[in-house]
Chains A and B, each alone.
Chain A
Amino acid sequence: MIWLTWRQHRKQALFTAIGLAVLAALIIPTGLAMRGTFDRLGLTDCVAKLGTAQLSQTPIGAGTCDAAFREFNGQYRVFGMIGVLFLFLPLVVGLFWGAPLVAREIEQGTHRLVWTQGISRRHWALVKFGMVGAATLVASALYGFGVSWWMTPLSQAGQLTRFDVFYFDMQGLAPIGYTLFAVALGVFAGTVWPKVLPAMAATLAGFVGVRVALTTLARPNYLPAETLTYPVQGAIVQPNTALGDWVLSHGVRDAAGKLVAANAEIMCPPNATGPGASCGADMGVGAGSYNWQLFQPGSRFWAFQGIETGIFLVLVVLLAYFAVRRIRRIS
């Protein structure tokens, strides 16, 4: 059975290996170049200077670090966008590894060949799921931690926050959960719609649906969010971007706590003059108003990664269980 699984899936394994090699060829040189620039500009010290306080007195952009951060971010701005393309890789694996696993057998009638040899369908399913699952695990772990490594300088320089939607989803543990889920969903879809194309379509729709729903509805609430307030007028302080917090919403509230300006941040020095000196008074920001933000602290990054991955692993186990049950009923 192990021989058969390898023989049937060696092409997919080869393509996956090629894909990973291409990814490595892309991220290793650029990752090293980024790190080189990062060190050359002395950004390690700048990041250390930002400290771990929730509000920083010297915002990014102050002093000598200002130019360094600006130069680094200017040079590598485009990388963050290229990175978003990696988001689709788990889905691709699910479509090409998972969906055909059962669907192609039934579409071509070969299930009647392989299920009438001397082994049970359960045995067949468990070996197939096990081997394909293990290969998926290895590939997605290489991908997840490779991208993590690649993105570290970008996150540290404040170019992007690794906790933000999209960047969270393509590094660390999360891609392992997504990729295994995509494969399991593909396999299960193949047992429900035993044709390759409908199974792929169902996998696509199901994967995007579950991912979007969990990301927008569930993830912000994995742990109770925290709030941060800081004055509108007074000494210049602002949230410390080096912490990598995930800002869920922010705005300006008045003294009574009512949100007067959503998605806004107002900072003005005491006794300001010139344009903007009204300090938001024209927008209804009166005395006693303060900046407010609802956020998940950056220190929770790995906790959230673990929770997200755990949810998807539970889904994987459920899908695999139902797939085996359905396989036993297919004729």
Chain B
Amino acid sequence: MDMVLETDQLGKRYGGNWALRDCSLHLPAGRVAALVGPNGAGKSTLLHLAVGLLRPDAGTVRIFGESPYANTSILADIGFVAQDTPVYRDFSATELVTMGGKLNERWDATLARTRLAQLGIPPDKPVGRLSGGQRAQVALALALAKRPRLLLLDEPVASLDPLARREFLQSLMGSVAEAGTTVLLSSHLLADLERVCDHVIVLSTARARLSGSVDEIVDGHRQLVGPRHGGEPIRGVAEIVRASHTDRQSTLLVRTNGSINDPAWTVHEVTLEDLILAYLADGDTNTNHEAWGVPA
């Protein structure tokens, strides 16, 4: 399988804090991947490393097999929409399309214009005066007009209302499905992306917790309910992701490596959302009672 994005032990540090650490993951071609994690988990850092805005402090990142930092030849194959969909607010949509044509060798202005016309974006109004949803669509149209092989979107729907979110994602999927573009889009809410993605990467406190196709991940996890569990191994369980206990009963979320036939446990399938929440809750939060001067 062709890998579009590969990272190995990737790390990025700001001062003494690691924004991303020991991140190793693969994204095969043609996937629509959701990059999920709470705010500050390192999602933007990962995307900025992937698009070459940042240079890694540790490990490597490769896009189509090449390092993206200061590499303009790779830039031509990446469409990127940064967080808050920055565009020159005093430019009109038409001018932004013209700008793209001047800055890119491969540029499909017709595609951008057709898209913007279909969406009813006013061509000559400064984009700063458009609604957030319309501006996001303009930014997406600019990214798509590069005819990229990889599309990276950083929280593209964060500022949109639920209706605009759905429209945005629908129009995005419509465009990438035909071209077979690989997409990596981030959000702190899985619910935004669940409908459209077939691959998930979960980041929490600067580390990658989970990465893989949605089907494999869901198949590979089960929820077990049974008598209070004291830590002894269960056949078929590779790892206990999360456990909660009452006096008599334990509920475990586990990663499986075989079928679980132990009659003591009732086995339930899990939804992707439960799973991701479990992994996020597992990511230990860094407490700083000392900095706040309160007792732990």
Contact = CB atoms under 8 A, between A and B. Distances in A.
B70 A113 contact: no
B258 to A, nearest CB: 44
A8 B98 CA distance: 13
Majority SS of interface residues in chain B?
loop
A115 B53 contact: yes
B81 to A, nearest CB: 8
A3 to B, nearest CB: 5
A258 interface: no
A1 B98 CA distance: 11
Contacts of B70: 120-121, 328
Contact of B53 (A1, A4, A112, A120): A112
Interface residues of B, number: 32
Interface centre among B52, B78, B89 (most CB of A within 10 A): B52
Interface string A88-119: 00000000000000000000111011111111
A3 B75 contact: no
A64 interface: no
B53 A3 contact: no
A4 B83 contact: no
Nearest to B73: A118
Interface in B117-143: 139, 142
Given A117-B75, A118-B76, A119-B72, A112 B82 contact: yes
Nearest to A115: B53
Contact of A7 (B76, B86, B95): B95
Interface string B170-187: 000000000000000000
Interface string B71-113: 0100110101011101111010001001110111110000000
Given A7-B95, A331-B53, A331-B54, A117 B104 contact: yes
A27 B153 CA distance: 55
The dominant DSSP class at the A interface is: loop
B74 to A, nearest CB: 10
Nearest to A123: B72
B53 A108 contact: no
Contacts, number: 65
Given A1-B103, A4-B103, A109-B83, A120 B72 contact: yes
Interface in A1-16: 1-4, 7-8
Interface residues of A, number: 22
A121 B54 CA distance: 12
A116 B53 contact: yes
Nearest to A119: B103
Q: Could you say which of A1, A4, A7, A331 has the most chain B C-beta atoms within 10 Å of its C-beta?
A: A331
B99 A7 contact: yes
Given A119-B72, A119-B103, A109 B48 contact: no
Nearest to B45: A331
Contacts of B146: 117-118
Interface string A3-47: 110011000000000000000000000000000000000000000
B49 to A, nearest CB: 9
A117 B96 CA distance: 12
A119 B139 CA distance: 18
Nearest to B102: A3
Nearest to A109: B86
Contacts of B88: 8, 110, 113
B23 interface: no
B104 A116 contact: no
Contacts of B142: 113
Contact of B99 (A3, A116, A331): A3
A16 to B, nearest CB: 18
Given A8-B88, A120-B72, A121-B70, A114 B53 contact: no
A227 B105 CA distance: 66
A108 to B, nearest CB: 6
A104 to B, nearest CB: 10
B75 A116 contact: yes
B157 interface: no
B53 A110 contact: no
A8 to B, nearest CB: 7
B48 A331 contact: yes
A68 B91 CA distance: 59
B122 to A, nearest CB: 18
B82 A109 contact: yes
A120 to B, nearest CB: 5
B51 interface: yes
Contacts of A112: 48, 53, 80, 82, 86
Nearest to A114: B103
A117 B103 contact: yes
Contacts of A119: 72, 103
A109 B48 CA distance: 13
A70 B179 CA distance: 84
Interface string B284-295: 000000000000
Contacts of B99: 3-4, 7
Nearest to B154: A112
Contacts of B48: 112, 331
16 contacts: A1-B102, A4-B99, A7-B91, A7-B99, A109-B82, A112-B80, A112-B86, A113-B86, A113-B142, A117-B75, A117-B103, A118-B104, A118-B106, A118-B146, A329-B55, A331-B48
Given A112-B53, A116-B75, A117-B103, 15 more contacts: A4-B103, A7-B95, A109-B82, A113-B82, A113-B88, A114-B103, A115-B53, A116-B51, A116-B78, A116-B80, A117-B75, A117-B100, A118-B105, A118-B146, A329-B55
